[in-house]
Structure 1
Amino acid sequence: MTKYTFPQNFMWGAAASGIQTEGSTNKANDSIWDLWHQKSPERFYRGISSETVTDTYHRYQEDVQNMKKVGFNSFRTSIQWSRLIKDYETGEVCQDAVAFYNNYLDEMIANGIEPMMNLYHFDMPAELQEKFGGFESKKVVDMFADYAETAFKLFGHKVKYWITFNEPIVPVEGGYLYDFHYPCKKDGKLAVQVAFNIILAHAKAVHRFNALELENSKIGIVLNLTPSYTRNDSEEDKKAAWYADLLFNRSFLDPMVKNEIPQELCDVLEEQGVTPETTSKEVELITTAKVEFLGVNYYVPRRVKAREASYDLDYFTPEVYFENYVNPEGRFNPYRDNNEILPTAVYDIAKNVQENYGNIPWYLAEIGIAMDVESEGEPGEDGLIDDSFRTGLMKEHLVQLHRAIQEGSNCFGVHQWTFIDNWSWLNSFKRRYGFYRLDLETGDRIPKKHGLWFKELATTGSFED
């Protein structure tokens, strides 16, 4: 057995989002997820919407106690734009939302749990999408900056860690390339414009945050970084991986962390005829918006090979430069759509951040091991659900993270996705990730064995394997 010890004051906890947990009680306005479910409920697994979900709005006190039971010292969730802002033109806030978020933050802080608050988790207000096209519009970029400043002023004295966006590439992919988020468009040029506008919105929010000079508060970004691994060592496959990394990772990582827009990216976009509309002032804002920390979400690796088949879409997507590839010798999760398991990817991510991004302070903002209800089984005599498969895999990933930290990687925490099985977009509750199972009929939180292991890890800062 080897003992793996993590640094003192390491942040241990979980991540979630407002829209996936709070429910719709007293919500000021609809988001695009409410709107889409109204239009196309058949797109959602078993037709389940985000209306009730885990009902954190009413059960936050109980939930904070459950956080303590599994040893959390920190927790990331999000403020819902559509809950906090009552009138988007005037910026008037919903006082009920202000009270809820204050109470939730106070409850976490009183119980020794550091809140980390994210401002955008895929949940564009429906009104802004329908009127202006969401982040297709520069007007909405400015409205986001206004909303962000409002949140900073309201809660900045309580929140030490702010995040502008979670996985900002996902609304681009889902809403404008691959049809798994609203508005379900397939338009490569529009996708690139939305991506640029989101980066600009982030930059404007960072500048608003810095202007307030909030004491003991930091601002960062959470990106889903997926290393690209090749089929073989051929130059063609290596070039395919380079393109995948440029378009899926560096497209957001370089502007938001290095404050650089890669020339290679500009060349690709020009080659494809999808260059976004920008101004020199906007580029200046992006290249001067310094973040203080990075969150990294990791689930699965990306496998690519040089394109062999012809590219048959009539609009631009990154796959014009490569094909996705399934490793025939890979190891796969039998409980989540056979996704590949590759713990060494965590080490590769950590070293990339260390060597190519100034070793910026970063944390593993999401790492999730999905199982379905059937594979987890029913609670045993001890009242716990046996998800030891999840614990085993988490150990393997943390061994790789520990190796990187020993080599100098500036990692300060690990947050697992997620706290309680939560509603997850089109998948609804198909995939379960939580420390607690959510009973969809009663709303009860049922503990899982993995939580006992995690509490020991969080309490001692170490584990043996």
Structure 2
Amino acid sequence: MIDLDTYDFGDAFPKGFLWGGATAANQIEGAWNEGGRGPAVSDYVILLDRETCAREGIVEGGPLNSVTRQSLAERKANEDAYDFPKRRGIDFYHTYKDDIALLGEMGFGVFRMSISWSRIFPNGDDAQPNEEGLAFYDAVFDECHKHGIEPMVTLNHFDMPLHLAEEYNGFASRHVVDAFERYAETVFRRYKGKVKYWMTFNEINHVYANPCTCCGVIWDQPEDGGNPYAGRWPEKFQVAHNQLVASAKACIKLHEIDPDAYIGNMLCRLENYAETSKPEDQLQVLFEDHFNWFFTDVQAKGEYPYYIKRFFRDYGVELQMEPGDLETLKKGTVDYISISYYMTYIMRYKGKISPEPSGKLLTEIKNQYLDQTEWGWPIDPVGFRITLNHIYDRYHLPIFISENGNGITEERDENGYCADDAHIAYMKEHVEQLHQALLDGVDVFGYAWWGPIDLISSGTSEMTKRYGQISVDQDDHGNGTGKRGKKKSFYYYKKLIASNGADTSTDNIVIE
């Protein structure tokens, strides 16, 4: 953590500020059936490229690529008929040394990554951990330290072991809570002294829209062909409760095992603006904020917030708790707040005194004052500063930016180079607003660009949507050499890090 009391509030960021990037095991590792790893739900997620999405009427922002019991059975019975991109990732399992060296060349001080649960416990609840999987992450962490990089490790980043999903319905079951606690304890003990920063669950609030991806919940496809994950609030909040208890248990375990380490949560922050000055639109913003803050309120404050009780009454949510759950939540609070921030949202009153959360990743109302990415995501750097102030005002805990970035299409030369000026412009504007938040007095101790290496998309499992400063010669179907290359943004980020955030200019970028 950094000491803001010694920060001179100049052009540079505070001394010790952590610059880096973020990935997820299921999007980069590949080697899905090597090294003793067991299958995960993500291994049965199919490619939804633009042609498929257009043909099937699929739009981003909904519950992309959820797995139902019917679709899982079909895919298992006819595996050759499907493309499962997360099985191959970008082959980080075999290329991690070269990849981490490139991150070190950029000057990274932190690499936010995740452990594949089924690489440690192939079924999620095995009697003994898989030593080959444990050794793999030992090697990854050692390589990070070799290049002066702190690994920041997410315990579960959309990566539920398939056995726990099929047999127990993921975090709908308390058995999975116990299995997660044991998994967390295993890696905490194994990597004590190697990993200083941990996170429990990636974007835990995605249980609203996609409990399959977020929590390993697999429900039946409705007979009418509708969305199997729409509504179902009593079930979703029971899953959420179990996951919050699991998070708290992990926090308690880490604090017992390694008092020198830190553990945080991870929230997909949805910063909302009212469409108009109508009081009802402002009220809708309040409602949406409550649903977004709910998880962090529990993880940071250790108790259920007052406002959720009305929603529970109105929607028939009656949580099944075990003795000691509330005490566990109170004891197992996080040390820091971690967020992903990509865009802001416009809210219009829905005509309900007690509305349901939208849970969507895209607003239905376009902000006329903002440009958009190729995928329709509003670009709002000032909103970044606003949300950081809101978070710090609410929790007064250190903040880590665990994801920020924009996906674009690219054309690269034979060396993998491309002039990805859209990445550079996005980073420049957001880092400048992050600096303004620091000047406001917000305690932010690090920034991780999402996808410093091109990787498999979380939602659509495509490669076309590229975030990285490092290119990968691989297309949506896995064709290509896999060769890495340095984009223009590689050299921009290297320059920015070398100046500790003081030089955000796009001039004098030295292409080596």
What TM-score, normalized to structure 1? 0.90
Closer, same or farther in 2 for the Cα pair 1:420/1:176, shift >3 Å? closer
Q: Counterpart in 2 of 1:22?
A: 29
Q: Which residue of 2 aligns with 1:455?
A: 494
Structure 1: where are the runs of 5+ without partners?
none
| SS at structure 2 position matched to 1:463 | coil
TM-score by length of 2: 0.82
1:371-393 superposed Cα distances (whole Å, 9 cap, x missing partner)? 02xxx22238x862111111112
1:116 equivalent in structure 2: 152
Alignment of 1:443 with 2:476, yes or no, is no
Deviations 1:272-322, CA, capped at 9 Å, x for gaps: 1123222452112112212111211101112111015x99xxxx94249xx
Query: Map of 1:20-419 to 2, 5 A cutoff?
Result: 20-23=27-30, 24=32, 25-37=34-46, 39=73, 47-86=83-122, 88-175=124-211, 183=219, 185-186=229-230, 187-212=232-257, 214-247=258-291, 249-279=292-322, 281-307=324-350, 317-319=356-358, 324-335=363-374, 337-358=375-396, 360-372=397-409, 376-379=410-413, 384-419=417-452
Partner of 2:61: none
| Residues 12 and 413, structure 1, Cα contact 8 Å, conserved in 2 | yes
Residue in 1 aligned with 2:64? none
Corresponding residue for 2:54? none
Contact kept, 8 Å, 1:177 with 1:185, in 2: the verdict is no
Amino acid at match of 1:303: I
Unaligned runs of 5+ in 2: 1-9, 47-71, 220-227, 475-479, 506-512
Which amino acid counterpart does residue 456 of structure 1 have in structure 2?
K
Whether contact under 8 Å (1:177, 1:191) holds in the other structure is no
Pairwise CA RMSD of aligned residues? 2.7
Q: 1:384 to 1:445 in 2, by over 3 A?
A: same
Q: Kindly provide the CA deviation profile for residues 218-257 of structure 1, in whole angstroms up to 9, marking residues without a partner as x.
A: 111121111111101111001111111111x211110011
Counterpart residue identity of residue 172, structure 2 = E
Deviations 1:253-273 (A, max 9, x none): 100112231111121121111
The CA distance in 1 between the partners of 2:42 and 2:481, in whole Å, is 23
Distance in 1 of aligned mates of 2:317 and 2:144: 45
Amino acid corresponding to residue 361 of structure 1 in structure 2 = P
Change (3 A) 1:364 1:136: same
Deviation at 1:185, TM superposition (A): 3.6
Contact 1:61-1:104 at 8 Å conserved across structures: yes
Report deviation, 1:176: 6.3
Residue type matched to 1:357 in 2?
Answer: Y
Q: Secondary structure at the match of 1:299?
A: coil
SS of 1:50 mapped into structure 2: helix
Which of residues 408, 433, 454 is equivalent to 1:421?
454
1:6 aligns with 2:21: no
CA contact (8 A) 2:164 2:216 kept: no
Opposite residue 237 of structure 1, the aligned amino acid is D
Using a 3 Å threshold, how does the CA distance of structure 1 residues 166 and 191 change in structure 2: closer, same or farther?
same
Shift of 1:61: 0.6
Q: 1:396 to 1:182 in 2, by over 3 A?
A: farther
Deviation at 1:334, TM superposition (A): 4.1
Q: Partner residue of 2:508?
A: none
Percent identity between the aligned chains? 28
After TM superposition, give the deviation of residue 182 of structure 1 in Å: 5.2
Q: Are the counterparts in 1 of residues 244 and 299 from structure 2 also a CA contact under 8 Å? A: yes
Number of positions where the alignment pairs a residue of Structure 1 with one of Structure 2: 446
1:4–1:181 Cα change, 3 Å: farther
- Residue type at the aligned position of 1:227: E
